[in-house]
Chains A and B, each alone.
Chain A
Amino acid sequence: MEGLVTQIQGLSGTDSDVLSLQNLLKQADDSLHAESTRLLPFLDQLDPAKHSLGYLYFLEAFTAGPVTNEHASSSVLMIARFISSCVAEQIRLAPDKFISVCKRFKDQVLLLEEPLRGVAPMLTAIRKLQSSSEHLTALHPEFLLLCLLSKCYKTGLSILEEDIFEVDQPRDLFLFCYYGGMISIGHKRFRKALELLHNVVTAPMPTINAIAVEAFKKYILVSLIHNGQFPTNLPKYASSVAQRNLKNLCQPYIELANSYSNGKIADLETYVEANKDKFESDNNLGLVKQAVSSMYKRNIQRLTQTYLTLSLQDIANRVQLNSPKEAEMHVLQMIKDGEIYATINQKDGMVRFLEDPEQYKTCEMIERIDSSIQRLMTVSKKLNVMDELMSCDPLYLAKAGRERQRFDFDDFDNVPQRYNI
């Protein structure tokens, strides 16, 4: 054991040394695990900053066993310190170990019921593990889970702003998007939530999974809140499994969407009352209530298209509210949220609807449009690159070649054959 420690200390200098160290460590892994309880003093001899890889192996073996509450807080501290001081290149050589250490970290933090302690370390861990900001690691969903449980939404949002293109495990993606959707909903960023949930629902999946089902339920509700309608059919690129099964598994929500599209608030509210238990058991009741109130908003917004001024009493009548006071409250809330532009004249009981003051003439707007254009150009370029790569891919060419029409004997010559690698 001491020999191993000295080797770690010696071989943590250059990259080639580190690689040979890794081989040694891999061979020594089992013995490490066998002696997991005795590893603590050795850990003190190692410096997490310089000897990250070695420290990682030791740490992983140490935390492999069951942990009690007293040990939990000390090991939490240890892991947190390790994460903040470790060197990214070294730990990337053993990503699985790193991931399992962090996952155990999360479990212990939850055991202690202090998810907030885990948020910052987990964020650092993600940054160190990611090969690029487009890379989704297994730690992303864990991080979002901690953010959700500790109600620390803003940090979660910062991660969501990044674009994700590479994924290790589909399950990570599903969880990430689902939790991300929930965080966005919590922050009332419905467009972002819709995007994330859409990704879950339309992702390629060979079999139906529970995450997709739950995501679909929220997707319907957010779609109603944000767009005022729900597209009855999933887009064509959604997997066939999803298209066939998702609707059947979320029947009450589909009926809610149908009731919403009929436009009668009274019917909608009775339906919600009748199915309250189902919504509550899915923890979606709050979202459902938001959907119902969004219907009032939508009706009021429609009024802005036809009227310049309207009395509060008229608004209450047309939107089927109970009194002018309620209408005033709704309109006030909408003005505050920036959903309509209006002024309320309390003396006359009149509301005056104004035009959107945005004139699209300011510098900020020009900057916004410009950055949007730049962004789109980058994304298009990426798309082109991927297209080119794909058309050179031997697997693709083999399949496409096989299915090509053959009009001439000559055609046979040009079909690429499968290479025997």
Chain B
Amino acid sequence: MDGEEDTSNPMMEANGTGGVDEAPLSSTSTRKNRPIISGEPLDIEAYAGLYTGRTKIKRLIFIASRCDNPAMQLEALRMAYDEIKKGENTQLYREVVQKIEGRLGPNYEMDAAWCSTIERKDEQRKEKLESELNAYRTNLIKESIRMGYNDFGDFYYAHGALGDAFKSYIRTRDYCTTSKHIIQMCLNAILVSIEMVQFSNVTSYVSRAELTPEALDPPTVAKLCCASGLAHLEAKKYKLAARKFLEVGPELGNSYSEVIAPQDVATYGGLCALASFDRTELKNKVIDNINFRDFLELVPEVRELINDFYSSHYASCLEYLGNLKPNLMLDIHLYNHVETLYDQIRNKALIQYTLPFVSVDMRMMADAFKTSVSGLEKELEALITDNQIQARIDSHNKILYARHADQRNATFQRVLQTGNEFDQDVRAMLLRANLLKRDCNLKASRKV
């Protein structure tokens, strides 16, 4: 059923309605049970259904710009258009219309009338908010001023003026009276910062929010973990990101859908953990982690590949990774980390494979990793030069021999070398000192 969706899409576009209503109930329920992030081509509707608000639109636009398949592109743009029309963001609207280029038919063209209506309503609302805020400010009622700034922030955010939204939310800080207010301000600031891709702000506001633990309820804690996990991911600190994502409790549910979906938590956390944790940590924090297991249920392929890696079934692990890659490249936060993470995972697999053995037949290893012997040789050479594997390659017989540095010999060598260096340095020092002393004496004798 789902496989036919791609071909039947053009029909649905002409109707202007999604195929969802026409499909019988059973398929929607099956669609719910099928994992959304998987090795199969992305089901855009289900994917978009995970998110709300601005991030939904941004993700759809991103998918459209990155995807090769024109049918999927158009699907994404169509959904983006619909979503924007429900909101008030004319700038994004113009962007999407431009991208559509009229390919979706007359219903998806530039609706100038809608734009001007929205903009007019903007002006009116803005004036109203300003006058209200001024009134509150003259009256010096803290709570009202705070709510006024919050409303301003929401208004700017809805219209895509992210910088102004951020500033407005920050200004509520002076008028926050309870810790709940502070948390609210932090969450708003975090949301806008993530949209603006300024993750340094995210980290600082997360720590700010964590300073008031009494007002933090479990969903908020989970949200803060997700936010800081995203910040670490962006900063390429994969180990910290993994730890944060693994701490997210099941209370997250769908409460943070304006930023992140539970499937993303599972994917990001799983992949970062696999790329940066050692075996013990992987076992304790990922495989035996009951909370995280629920998340992993949502993305069974990630769960499978982690288990495969741990039980050394590298071929199938790498196969899962390869399948997931196209969809991961469409993810707005992960796409520029996919290559690095994959390389790290592959290197770890290679290293882990060679660890228990004294000698390894490279042909068997190449089979296990589904690569050619010469390609494998190059990869191993890079790892050995990098000192990640202690071994040497017998290129004639294609065998890898483990080689453990002889500590005793190395120590002797170092001792002799250090002795020589010390000797040289001290003698040179004495010579220089004598020269300087001679100069000083000359100068002194000249003065006298």
Contact = CB atoms under 8 A, between A and B. Distances in A.
Interface of A: 163-167, 170, 173, 195, 198-199, 202-204, 237, 302, 305-311, 314, 348, 350, 353, 355-356, 358-360, 365, 368-369, 372-373, 375-376, 379-380, 382-383, 386, 390, 395, 421
Contacts of B437: 390
A383 B429 contact: yes
B393 A165 contact: no
Interface string B405-448: 01011001001100110111011111111111111100010001
A369 B416 contact: yes
A356 B409 contact: yes
B430 A382 contact: yes
A358 B419 contact: no
A299 to B, nearest CB: 12
Interface in B135-177: none
Question: Which of A302, A307, A359, A375 lies at the interface centre, i.e. has the most chain B CB atoms within 10 A of its CB?
Answer: A307
Given A372-B416, A372-B419, A173 B435 contact: yes
Given A204-B436, A372-B419, A380-B426, A305 B444 contact: no
A253 B412 CA distance: 35
A375 B431 contact: no
A421 B444 CA distance: 12
A363 to B, nearest CB: 15
Contacts of B428: 195, 198-199, 202
18 contacts: A164-B431, A198-B428, A237-B429, A237-B432, A302-B385, A305-B384, A305-B385, A306-B392, A307-B392, A307-B395, A372-B423, A376-B422, A379-B422, A379-B423, A380-B426, A382-B430, A386-B433, A421-B448
A375 B419 CA distance: 9
A202 B427 CA distance: 13
Given A204-B432, A204-B435, A306-B385, A311 B409 contact: no
Contacts of A421: 448
A163 B437 CA distance: 18
Contact of B430 (A306, A308, A372, A383): A383
A163 B434 CA distance: 13
Contacts of B448: 421
A170 B435 contact: yes
A309 B396 contact: yes
A94 B433 CA distance: 27
A416 to B, nearest CB: 15
Contacts of A348: 396
Contact of A308 (B401, B406, B440): B401
Interface residues of B, number: 38
Contact of B426 (A167, A365, A379, A390): A379
B17 interface: no
Contact of B434 (A165, A305, A310, A311): A165
B381 interface: yes
B101 interface: no
A195 B435 contact: no
A46 B1 CA distance: 125
Nearest to A310: B395
Contacts of B431: 164-165, 167, 173, 199, 203
A206 B423 CA distance: 27
A228 B424 CA distance: 19
Nearest to B440: A395
Contact of A195 (B408, B412, B424, B434): B424
Interface in B54-96: none
Contact of A165 (B416, B430, B436): B430
B394 interface: yes
B397 interface: yes
B347 to A, nearest CB: 16
Interface of B is mostly: helix
Nearest to B448: A421
Given A355-B406, A390-B437, 5 more contacts: A167-B435, A308-B393, A358-B409, A376-B419, A421-B448
A360 B434 contact: no
A375 B430 CA distance: 15
Contacts of A204: 432, 435-436, 439
Contacts of B423: 372, 375-376, 379
Contact of A306 (B381, B406, B412, B429): B381
Interface in B345-396: 381, 384-385, 392-396
B287 to A, nearest CB: 34
B219 to A, nearest CB: 52
A372 B448 CA distance: 44
Question: Which of B384, B385, B424 lies at the interface centre, i.e. has the most chain A CB atoms within 10 A of its CB?
Answer: B424
A307 to B, nearest CB: 5
Contacts of B427: 163, 165, 379
A202 B436 CA distance: 12
Contacts of A237: 429, 432
Nearest to A315: B395
Contacts of A167: 431, 434-435, 438
A83 to B, nearest CB: 27
B409 to A, nearest CB: 6
B186 to A, nearest CB: 47
Contacts of A359: 409
Contacts of A306: 381, 384-385, 392-393
Given A165-B430, A199-B428, A308 B392 contact: yes
A313 B65 CA distance: 47
Nearest to B387: A305
A369 B408 CA distance: 15
Nearest to A136: B431
Given A360-B412, A376-B419, A421-B448, A350 B396 contact: yes
B384 A395 contact: no
Question: Which of A165, A204, A306, A360 lies at the interface centre, i.e. has the most chain B CB atoms within 10 A of its CB?
Answer: A306
Contacts of B433: 386, 390
A163 B90 CA distance: 84
Nearest to A360: B412
A383 B434 CA distance: 11
A199 B425 CA distance: 10
Nearest to B429: A383
A360 B409 CA distance: 7
State the 4 A-B residue pairs at the shortest beta-carbon distance, nearest first.
A360-B412, A308-B394, A309-B396, A306-B384
A372 B430 CA distance: 18
Nearest to A353: B392
Nearest to B439: A204
Nearest to B392: A308
A311 B435 contact: no
A359 B401 CA distance: 21
B62 to A, nearest CB: 39
Contact of B435 (A203, A360, A373): A203
Contacts of A373: 419
Contacts of A356: 409
A204 B428 CA distance: 12
B341 to A, nearest CB: 26
